[in-house]
Structure 1
Amino acid sequence: MSSPAKMMRRKKNVKKGIQFCLMVCGASGTGRTTFVNTLCGKSVLNHKDSDDPNDAHVEEGVKIKPVTVELELDEEGTRISLTIVDTPGFGDLIDNEASFAEIVGYLERQYDDILAEESRIKRNPRFRDNRVHAMLYFITPTGHGLRELDIELMKRLAPRANVIPVIGRADSLTPAELAESKKLVMEDIEHYRIPVYNFPYDIEEDDEDTVEENAELRGLMPFAIVGSEDIVEIGGRKVRARQYPWGVVEVDNPRHSDFLAIRSALLHSHLADLKEITHDFLYENYRTEKLSKSVEGGAGVDSSMNPEDLASQSVRLKEEQLRREEEKLRTRFSEQSWMLVYYVIFWSMGLVC
């Protein structure tokens, strides 16, 4: 049975809907577009046209392309406004320094927008929070560990986003090659100390189900992704799959792909946790860095702001932080009150001792 707190959050989500922002990044040909379209159950991103040989000398670099789609997650009518931020062109150049800066810059601009909104005396009721809550990094299915490009990007993005590594087009590897690749990738992540989102849990504080679920998801990392926009009939069943001369790879079959696991984590079980970490940890760290630079008069500060304006901004931001803490305490108290109500009801029905 779901806890009263989860039931309350679920009802609230059904009523007002959810906003979530997912960035997908990786070299061309790693299956980002197919994954996104499979995740959403419809065509959201367009597949790249065949390269024109006449344009081979043109170096365009990475492009940031956000697109928002409305989805219905379950039978209860829970809706989500899902923003997908695609990064076509990443990894196509010999020198990807500009691509790193472009992606990090995009993430920080979303934080800057929130920072500016929090500093306003009068808030904009139509303001939309576009911070990226999770970043799926698609690793090329080579059967080996991480490349220098992979290591550099994940290390640069980890302070600004919840980085989740996945192996794109995993069906191009044999089961043995895939298992070895997963092992090597995780060894590299540990060796280079890349702070990826690893489905954290605390054995002493979290309940048994949470610990078991997170340990299982952590064991699947990096997730083996297989996507398909084609429907194939197998034994009277219509399934999303990729068909080959040697057989069929089913997208939603856990024995063939980790697609269901990552979809469930992103859009259901860990959606709230990813948003909380983005706001309470990643954004707060960025905000603190920004305020420190403001006080010290360092880089990134608007030179037109005088000391009084800076002090006023700092006070408003501190008030905003206190307001959020107060709101958290109120929510926690409300959830505990509802838990007590449910307990009394269940006790009166003889369902608990």
Structure 2
Amino acid sequence: MDAQQTTPLSQYVGFDSITRQIESKLLKRGFQFNVMVVGQTGLGKSTLVNTLFASHLIESKGRLEAHESPRSTTEIHPVSHLVVENGVKLRLNVIDTPGYGDQVNNENCWDPIIKYIKDQHSAYLRKELTAMRDRYITDTRIHCCLFFINPTGHGLRPIDVTVMKKLADVVNVVPVIAKSDSLTLDERDLFKERIRAEMQYHDIRIYPFDSDEYEEEERELNERIRSLIPFAVVGSERNVVVDGKQVRGRKNRYGVINVENENHCEFVYLRNFLTRTHLQDLIETTALRHYEAFRSRQLLALKESSSKQQAAQQAQQQQAQQA
């Protein structure tokens, strides 16, 4: 096909208003964003999510008390909220996975997490293939998985490597160093370098991905994001006073950690990345990359199964005719 030429208009037509038309419809419908948090108990997963969205979305379970029995399985806890900002409605699902990595024997503790993610793809596919399907299919597919890394300063545990690789195959993984204020700035930088080297060595493909489909500006932004990952973060729902102003932060014996101060932690970078620059791309990447791969595999499996059934039926018919 020949390249299309740009044709000048002799007067105003008005189709440039289509962006406002689309925006109006989307604002009425609202948006859906599903985020999963994965990590050991006590790393501040709930607190960070609440800090990110400036709302009390999920209860912090924290570490187990001495009298409590350990969690034998990874229990999936989805929590749904409708949050509104300047007229924009966001239906937010937060999926917590308490119990991951807490046991002495953590073999296959990731299976319920992977199964849950695939189950959401499967549910969406079933609705998509229904003859009388809904006009708008409720999207419960996981758009982002925040993977919490223990701030040990030593590197990733073998189980972390295994789980991150398995998760990266089915969901957009964004690793974060939890409670990074437990490390000095030098320790933090060294820890980040070590984790990046380990992820590269083990070929763990984390979000955002590199693609020729992105414009130059988008590729440059993604490159800056990748240079920051894993985000070293601190979460807090409490307000503390700094120079006469209330800020979200934490007090310790050395002073105050202001979670929104870029010199203290990288919370602001993570928040801007998740909500202000890559929210829509996370949703699109889930649909076009992870779900599409799942959909293709499932449909191919159905086609093969159908072909085998037909072959078996033909064989039975031939045997019946010969008999």
Q: TM-score, normalised by structure 2?
A: 0.84
Query: Any residues of structure 2 matched to 1:307-326 within 5 Å, and which?
Result: none
Is residue 241–residue 247 contact of structure 2 (8 Å, CA) maintained in 1?
A: yes
User: What per-residue deviation string (whole Å, max 9, x for no partner) do you get for residues 179-235 of structure 1?
Assistant: 000000000000000111135365x96143x34422221111100111001101111
- 1:239 equivalent in structure 2: 247
Identity of aligned residues (%): 36
- 1:264 equivalent in structure 2: 272
Distance across 1 between alignment mates of 2:40 and 2:234: 16
2:35 corresponds to which letter in structure 1?
Answer: L
Alignment gaps of 5+ in structure 2: 1-16, 312-323
Is residue 13–residue 79 contact of structure 1 (8 Å, CA) maintained in 2?
A: no
- 1:96 equivalent in structure 2: 106
- 1:68 equivalent in structure 2: 80
Q: After TM superposition, give the deviation of residue 114 of structure 1 in Å.
A: 1.0
- Structure with the bigger percentage of helix: 1
Alignment gaps of 5+ in structure 1: 309-353
Query: Any residues of structure 2 matched to 1:119-158 within 5 Å, and which?
Result: 119-125=129-135, 127-158=137-168
1:188 corresponds to which letter in structure 2?
Answer: E
- 1:206 equivalent in structure 2: 215
DSSP-derived class of the 1:241 partner: strand
- 2:60 equivalent in structure 1: 47
Is residue 42–residue 63 contact of structure 2 (8 Å, CA) maintained in 1?
A: no
Q: After TM superposition, give the deviation of residue 12 of structure 1 in Å.
A: 5.0
Aligned equivalent of 2:292, options 258, 275, 284: 284
- 2:204 equivalent in structure 1: 194
Q: After TM superposition, give the deviation of residue 95 of structure 1 in Å.
A: 2.6
DSSP-derived class of the 1:97 partner: coil
- 1:182 equivalent in structure 2: 192
User: What per-residue deviation string (whole Å, max 9, x for no partner) do you get for residues 298-336 of structure 1?
Assistant: 9xxxx9xx769xxxxxxxxxxxxxxxxxxxxxxxxxxxx
Number of aligned residue pairs:
295
2:278 corresponds to which letter in structure 1?
Answer: H
- 2:51 equivalent in structure 1: 38
Q: After TM superposition, give the deviation of residue 46 of structure 1 in Å.
A: 1.4
User: What per-residue deviation string (whole Å, max 9, x for no partner) do you get for residues 3-50 of structure 1?
Assistant: x99877655543432110000100111110110111122222212266
1:159 corresponds to which letter in structure 2?
Answer: D
2:77 corresponds to which letter in structure 1?
Answer: K
| Gap change, CA 1:10 and 1:255, over 3 Å in 2 | farther
| Gap change, CA 1:179 and 1:13, over 3 Å in 2 | farther
Pick 1 or 2: higher relative contact order, CA cutoff 8 A, min separation 6: 1
DSSP-derived class of the 1:69 partner: strand
| Gap change, CA 1:13 and 1:249, over 3 Å in 2 | farther
Is residue 68–residue 81 contact of structure 1 (8 Å, CA) maintained in 2?
A: yes
User: What per-residue deviation string (whole Å, max 9, x for no partner) do you get for residues 34-83 of structure 1?
Assistant: 10111122222212266343444x5422110011112234xx42221111
Is residue 124–residue 137 contact of structure 2 (8 Å, CA) maintained in 1?
A: no
Aligned equivalent of 1:29, options 15, 36, 42: 42
- 1:313 equivalent in structure 2: none
Query: Any residues of structure 2 matched to 1:218-257 within 5 Å, and which?
Result: 218-257=226-265
Is residue 146–residue 185 contact of structure 1 (8 Å, CA) maintained in 2?
A: yes
Tell me the C-alpha RMSD between the 2 structures: 2.6
- 1:165 equivalent in structure 2: 175
Counterpart check, 1:115 vs 2:125: yes
| Gap change, CA 1:142 and 1:12, over 3 Å in 2 | farther
DSSP-derived class of the 2:105 partner: coil
1:172 corresponds to which letter in structure 2?
Answer: S
Distance across 1 between alignment mates of 2:19 and 2:151: 38
Query: Any residues of structure 2 matched to 1:337-348 within 5 Å, and which?
Result: none
1:60 corresponds to which letter in structure 2?
Answer: S
Distance across 2 between alignment mates of 1:123 and 1:172: 51
DSSP-derived class of the 2:140 partner: coil
User: What per-residue deviation string (whole Å, max 9, x for no partner) do you get for residues 233-271 of structure 1?
Assistant: 111211001111211111111111211221122122111
Q: After TM superposition, give the deviation of residue 104 of structure 1 in Å.
A: 0.5
